[in-house]
Structure 1
Amino acid sequence: MTKHVVSVSGGKDSTATLLIALDRCPPGSVVPIFCDTGNEHQAVHDYLAYLEQALDIQIHRLKADFTEQVMAKRRFIARDVRIGRDDKGRKVRWTNKAKRRALAVMHPSGNPFLDLCMIKTRFPSSAAQFCTGELKRDPAVEFQLALVDAGYRVISWQGIRRDESINRRKKRKFERIGPRMRAFRPIIDWSAEQVFAFAKAKGIEPNPLYRAGMGRVGCMPCINCSKADLRQIAVRFPDHIERIAEWEGIVSACSKRGSSTFFPPGTDAHAAQDVREVFAALGIRNRVEWSKTTRGGKQFDLLQVLDEPSTCSSVYGLCE
């Protein structure tokens, strides 16, 4: 017997993929799953509930638990006497002061994203995107392997499109990923416009975050979010900026150097040696101010500053 496991994120691509699976697969064989990273907007969870009601389905919520790993990291820090090197080759060691600072805040929070960052003592980046692997891929693979162990053949439906990024241009539409496991990407050659049009034809509304100016739906903010997305988040959902600022303080306390920012240094990287200056220059609140500027980050974009939080600003032309 085959189980068709559809990874649903609450975004446009996974929604279209789910609709295709429900159309093509036998009743009862489609198993939608959602991997909760702990960094989503409430609108994502509300949209999943909407899909469940509109499509008469159940979406299985998966959530990584790093409680044991956080406690193991605490023990490691308490006992560590090694001298390491930072990204500039300078020697860095756990001083007693740094250990006390880290151990004061490093406790399991129950939030997968925050707990993972405390363990890593840093935030993910495009070069080290461990959030995707450990918060989304691993729980999904574990769920599917359990189905294989139970005797099922698994088809993993993935809402991936080639025009999303260079890394996805060579993705196959169908491939073997393991014993009794296959991956199927039905919208691999679709455009974003086709995805929205397909859902509309099925009577399914898009996630409301798209009308709030978001180019992508999922983590809020995502470490890869655009300047425009960050600006819209700051205008419409300032509580998410404040949450990230709080997380920056916690993760900074967990690191040897005492500083870690959600967004890594870009072309405007601060050259200061003092971690307090680095944090002030690259922290989330400073990045929000940068998001309000024109290209080059030198002047404020007055037209963007005048954006009204209640107006539709869809980058996909969804405003009526």
Structure 2
Amino acid sequence: MSQPEKHVLGISGGKDSAALAIYMRQNHPELDIDYFFTDTGKELPEVYEFLGKLEGFLGKPILRLNPDRDFDYWLKQYNNFLPSAQTRWCTRQLKLKPFEDWIKPFLDDGVMVHSYVAIRADEPYREGYTTRNDNLKVLLPFREAGVDKPGVTEILEASGLGWPRYYEWRSRSGCTFCFYQQKIEWVRLKERHPDAFEEAITYEKTAVENGSPFTWSEGESLNELTQPDRVRQIKEDHDRRVLRLKARKKANPLRPDDDAIDMDDLYGQPKFCVTCHK
């Protein structure tokens, strides 16, 4: 008797995991894949909009994990201390733990779980979810097939979905107030979603009052970051970075209209979790 199997693929709301879902549906229709999204309760409205479109393309629902214990619940458990690059309790409690809790009964029953992760071929510095359970196999189809960032764009455009709308002003998915955002992204959040930005300020103020050593953005509070002179400085610095990057980039004759600027190319590669941002 063969070992029972289950196939799962995590959707972050970002471009890479969406492209992988499309890729697997088109190239491996024989697999019955369960798609899941770990919802922090603090996602951008553009993320939910894109998830709905992706469900329509896939022809099946994307399971939402975390229906009860959202960001606000865990923030209280951590005494209102904000998550940070040094203490990423949000990744652990809102992304990894719900996934582990979901698949644990299957693993305990001896089911072989195949988890597909959207790490591209041009990301040798990134690793997938690590596990010691022999019944959980983490697979990287894009790396194996040589699919890079332009390949992801081609998959999304060919499907008719395109990129999520938040890429117009932000570089990745994740919580509305993810601490990995660049300064310019905080400025844009205030411009695009002022209510969400004000909520982030409230969280930050409460955290500082409770002794948290971290603010959302390294080295300054959000109130300091959004003072007019500081905003002007941030925007000017960003514009200079864009001009320098464009001067270095080689024009692509096959895609002359491709002028998308990758935030990681501008500011360097952050060590964020693939579960949050892919």
User: Per the shorter chain, which TM-score range?
Assistant: 0.7 to 0.9
Distance 1:178 1:207, change over 3 A: same
Q: What is the RMSD computed on CA atoms of the aligned residues?
A: 3.1
Q: 2:118 aligns with which of 159, 177, 184?
A: 159
Q: Is the 8 A contact 2:71 2:94 kept in 1?
A: yes
- Tell me what 1:101 maps to: none
CA–CA distance in structure 2, aligned partners of residues 43 and 26 of structure 1: 28
- Tell me what 2:71 maps to: 113
Map residues 192-211 of structure 1 onto 2, 5 A cutoff.
192-211=149-168
The aligned amino acid for 2:76 is M
Q: Is the 8 A contact 2:8 2:34 kept in 1?
A: yes
TM superposition shift of 1:23: 2.6
- Tell me what 1:315 maps to: 261
Question: CA offsets, 1:162-215, max 9 Å, x none?
Answer: 756xxx61637x98741311001222464332211222123322111112x111
Q: 2:188 aligns with which of 232, 251, 271?
A: 232
Question: CA offsets, 1:62-87, max 9 Å, x none?
Answer: 00645xxxxxxxxxxxxxxxxxxxxx
Q: 2:84 aligns with which of 112, 119, 125?
A: 125
- Tell me what 2:174 maps to: 218
CA–CA distance in structure 1, aligned partners of residues 186 and 33 of structure 2: 35
Q: 1:13 aligns with which of 1, 6, 16?
A: 16
- Tell me what 1:76 maps to: none
Unaligned regions of 5+ residues in structure 2, if any?
240-258, 264-278
Give the number of the structure whose alpha-carbon radius of gyration is greater. 1
TM superposition shift of 1:314: 5.4
TM-score by length of 2: 0.73
Identity %: 24
User: 3-state SS of the aligned residue for 2:37?
Assistant: strand
Counting matched residue pairs gives: 237
User: 3-state SS of the aligned residue for 2:114?
Assistant: strand
Distance 1:35 1:207, change over 3 A: same
Q: 2:236 aligns with which of 298, 301, 312?
A: 301
The aligned amino acid for 2:231 is K
- Tell me what 2:216 maps to: 263
User: 3-state SS of the aligned residue for 1:6?
Assistant: strand
CA–CA distance in structure 2, aligned partners of residues 231 and 159 of structure 1: 29
Q: Is the 8 A contact 1:155 1:183 kept in 2?
A: yes
Unaligned regions of 5+ residues in structure 1, if any?
67-111, 267-281, 305-312
User: 3-state SS of the aligned residue for 2:175?
Assistant: coil
Higher RCO structure, 1 or 2 (CA under 8 Å, sep 6+): 2
Q: Is the 8 A contact 1:5 1:33 kept in 2?
A: yes
- Tell me what 1:285 maps to: 223
CA–CA distance in structure 1, aligned partners of residues 10 and 43 of structure 2: 15
CA–CA distance in structure 2, aligned partners of residues 302 and 181 of structure 1: 45
Q: Is the 8 A contact 1:261 1:284 kept in 2?
A: no
